[in-house]
Amino acid sequence: MNNKPDKVLIFDTTLRDGEQAPGASMNPKEKLEIAFALERLGVDIIEAGFPIASKGDFDSVKNVAKHIKGSMICALARSLKKDIDAAGDAVKGAKRPRIHVFLATSKIHLQYKFKKTPQEILQIAVDAVKYARGKVDNIEFSPEDASRSDKDFLYKVLEAVIKAGATTVNIPDTVGYATPLEYGQLIADIKNNVPNIGKAIISTHCHDDLGLAVANSLAAVRNGARQVECTINGIGERAGNASMEEIVMALKTRADFFKCSTGIHTREIYRTSRLVSKATGFVVPPNKAIVGANAFRHESGIHQDGILKERSTYEIMSPEDVGVPAAGGLVLGKHSGRHAFKDRLKFLGIMINDAELDRAFDRFKNLADKKKQVFDEDLMAIVDDEAKSIVMTWALKELLATSGTNIAPQVKVTLESKGKLITKESSGDGPVDACYKAIEAATKCKAKLLEYGIQSVTQGKDALGEVTVKVSVDGKNVIGHGASTDIIEASAKAYINAINKAIAQEITKK
């Protein structure tokens, strides 16, 4: 790993802190897919999870550590031996493992959470780092709530943990309280007041409660931080974390100002953003910087005129820089063959086995009969909807929906399970409600719909509609996806996908 002064290491915590966002829980397969995407992206360190939290989290970290070779794999642990043992066991299969130990240092945490003296906290931190260092060589220590900690005490803790073996010291703005000026000054003060700080990398971990996570992180880089902790799309607890894509593109676009670079392959940003959005069910807002749908769109006539004459008049980066598919990029048609389809998926970085390819190709041919133009986004939606789905307990075979202004919506569905066809019919407040009642009757699975969202994959009246649902089954929240040119069909597929995931989770537990 290159740690020269002008290189900023990117520490991605999408799989750990990002998953702590309410409703963002991912299954093991989704976590591994995201880990592979982060590896392609060029992330230096992947924080894969918090192993002590649950057996599922432990197994997921272990699985990521086993398969990822290009990025360092990190596991989080409190300053407790049992946590550090779990973290060490989870990452021991990694090519380059790291344990990330944390302990709060602010007065408010010491008084109300730990009820311990500063000296006791200092000793716990040192003991934890030493214990972790006995398991792996690369140790990160975080004084939780550092931005609200007494500075003199913070300096003592950092000096002590570096002496104990910490190779990275992270300065968390845990509750998003800091402002860029004071957070940048905190990093500068640490550099000037911790005698052995040169033996460790200074890292940042900023939350977005005041909308300042990215600004604070960049202020820290300006003052000497050389690792930034962030997440794809800025997901995370409460208002989220610092957004990786914004930090990376700020450092790249304003290299003249920051005089730093990252090892991120920026053309992978858009695809990774979409993958995380798909896995978590969190739709990226249209006005989101870098990866939002409107990030490179120009409505104003003056702007459009300028763009047509010279793109740099109103664009400081190009959509191609972050991997946004070229507008209007027709890729395949109904006469395209299986080989061309497979090559295009490979170009998009989508790797699937032959069985998955067969299912996806059949969907593509059906779509090509309905649409005049098939775009990259369509292909990605098809693969997400069909080829990469979990093993299906239930599959939609037929759907018939009738509705109108003065008639009660009626839906009949035929589902297949273990070679048997089951047909059920139901009415409802609307066609989607009727559809879901019919599916519940067929599967005998009671699922409570928590969230429902739909968006078009591409432009045009014939665009694929992509439905995302969040449902609760036996108290467990799962996310389902479905795509079709027919909205009711897409809705049915999303609901069935969620039910299949819930069943798969129960089978895995057994």
In whole angstroms, give the CA distance from residue 322 to residue 297.
Answer: 14
Cβ-Cβ contacts under 8 Å for 70 (sequence gap 6 or more):
39, 42
Q: What is the pLDDT of residues 421-439, one digit of tens each?
A: 999 999 999 999 999 999 9
> What's the Cα-to-Cα distance from 224 to each of 166, 173, 191, 429, rounded to whole Å?
18, 16, 8, 59
In whole angstroms, give the CA distance from residue 186 to residue 151.
Answer: 8
Please tell me the predicted confidence (pLDDT) of residue 336: 77
Cβ-Cβ contacts under 8 Å for 18 (sequence gap 6 or more):
24, 231, 232, 235, 236, 241, 276, 280
In whole angstroms, give the CA distance from residue 69 to residue 327.
Answer: 34
In whole angstroms, give the CA distance from residue 324 to residue 321.
Answer: 8
Point out which residues pair with 410 in neighbouring strands: 402, 427
Please tell me the predicted confidence (pLDDT) of residue 508: 52
With contact defined as beta carbons under 8 Å apart, do 364 and 381 qualify? no
In whole angstroms, give the CA distance from residue 179 to residue 277.
Answer: 28
With contact defined as beta carbons under 8 Å apart, do 136 and 97 qualify? yes
In whole angstroms, give the CA distance from residue 193 to residue 94.
Answer: 35
Q: Place domain 9-280 in its CATH homologous superfamily.
A: Aldolase class I (3.20.20.70)
Please tell me the predicted confidence (pLDDT) of residue 330: 46
With contact defined as beta carbons under 8 Å apart, do 491 and 435 qualify? yes
Please tell me the predicted confidence (pLDDT) of residue 173: 97
With contact defined as beta carbons under 8 Å apart, do 128 and 101 qualify? yes
Q: What is the pLDDT of residues 337-388, one digit of tens each?
A: 888 888 877 766 676 778 888 888 888 888 888 766 677 777 777 776 664 4
Q: Which residue ranges in the chain fall short of pLDDT 50? A: 1-5, 299-300, 303-304, 307, 327-330, 387-388
Please tell me the predicted confidence (pLDDT) of residue 406: 85
* 3-class secondary-structure state, position 206: strand
In whole angstroms, give the CA distance from residue 443 to residue 371.
Answer: 32
End-to-end CA distance of the chain: 41
Please tell me the predicted confidence (pLDDT) of residue 318: 85
Distance of alpha carbon 451 from the chain centroid: 19
In whole angstroms, give the CA distance from residue 173 to residue 223.
Answer: 16
- Residue 460 is given by DSSP the state S
* 3-class secondary-structure state, position 261: strand
Please tell me the predicted confidence (pLDDT) of residue 307: 46
Please tell me the predicted confidence (pLDDT) of residue 367: 80
| Residue closest to 221 by CA, chosen among 180, 176, 253 | 180
Please tell me the predicted confidence (pLDDT) of residue 303: 47
DSSP H stretches of helix in 42-179: 55-67, 81-91, 107-109, 118-133, 151-164
With contact defined as beta carbons under 8 Å apart, do 100 and 77 qualify? yes
With contact defined as beta carbons under 8 Å apart, do 31 and 283 qualify? no
Give the helix/strand (H/E) hosting 47. strand 45-49
> What's the Cα-to-Cα distance from 177 to each of 107, 145, 148, 490, rounded to whole Å?
15, 9, 8, 42
Give, in words, the CATH class of 395-509. Answer: alpha beta
Residue 1 CB neighbours (<10 A): 11
| Residue closest to 263 by CA, chosen among 251, 276, 246, 271 | 251
Distance of alpha carbon 320 from the chain centroid: 21
In whole angstroms, give the CA distance from residue 55 to residue 329.
Answer: 44
Please tell me the predicted confidence (pLDDT) of residue 305: 53
With contact defined as beta carbons under 8 Å apart, do 362 and 476 qualify? no
Tell me the DSSP string of 409-424.
EEEEEEEEETTEEEEE
In whole angstroms, give the CA distance from residue 454 to residue 466.
Answer: 6
